Homo-oligomer: A and B are copies of this chain.
Amino acid sequence: MLKVLTQKLGEHSRLSNEDLATIHRLSHFPRKLQANEDLIRQGDDPKVSAVVTSGMVARYHLLANGSRQYLSFHMAGDMPDSQSLFIDRMDHAVCAVGAAVVALVPHKELLSAFKLRPSLGFAIWRETLIDAAIFREAITNNSARTMRGRMGHLFCELFYRARASGLTDGTRLALPISRVQLGETLGMSIATVNRTLNGLRASRAASLQRGKLHIMNWETLANISQFDPGYLHQKKPPM
């Protein structure tokens, strides 16, 4: 079940056999999440960290008016709450996007594993730094790009990351996200979400229908959104 984690870490870090063995010795408990169910809430102080096993989860800020700002999306192998290892109170929440399964690993075991094998800790530290790079890119995306560019960039990133982990189906990716959520991710109104989606489909770049993202033309989409995968820091680019 933690195979997804070693695979993910392998995308950017070199792990020794000892490191791998240490990971596979960690206890872990599966937890199934329904679509939209919260895994962690803002203000929580969890004693376990989650590794996504299947499906997709998202981080979000809960705003004063009750609406949300989605911050990032996480798929198989990702640790969406790695920060809770070292930070007590959650400053954001994590919920399932569509149905999902996570494996819960006790903080205590992770921390002693890091003390035993620093290189393993460094790999997960690196993973959290890549998370931060993704956040930075989101700042730029939502602040400096057109609506079209924003949406295209999000689609490029999600598809690129999923493809690196072998989660895509040719040119398609399961992305069970609503229009409202897309708007709360990209900082646009629902009406604009729809019109932008229409535009991308009309340009034969990408479409999102019934929870499936279809990349119609990668070149076009990457061009529209100025997508440069460097910030994902993968060892070998799969495209």
Task: State the number of copies, please.
Answer: 2
Is A122 in the interface zone, CB < 8 Å from B? yes
Inter-chain CA distance A114–B119, complex, in Å, is 10
A227 to chain B, nearest CB (A): 11
Inter-chain CA distance A64–B144, complex, in Å, is 11
Inter-chain CA distance A61–B132, complex, in Å, is 14
Partner of A143, one of B64, B89, B187: B187
Given A118-B114, A121-B118, also A140-B61 (CB < 8 A)? yes
The residue of chain B having its C-beta at the shortest distance from the C-beta of A136 within the complex is B71
Is A21 in the interface zone, CB < 8 Å from B? no
What residues of chain A have their CB less than 8 Å away from a CB belonging to chain B? 59, 61, 63-64, 67, 69, 71, 83, 86-89, 91-92, 111, 114-115, 118, 121-122, 125-126, 128-133, 135-140, 142-144, 184, 186-187, 226, 230-231, 233
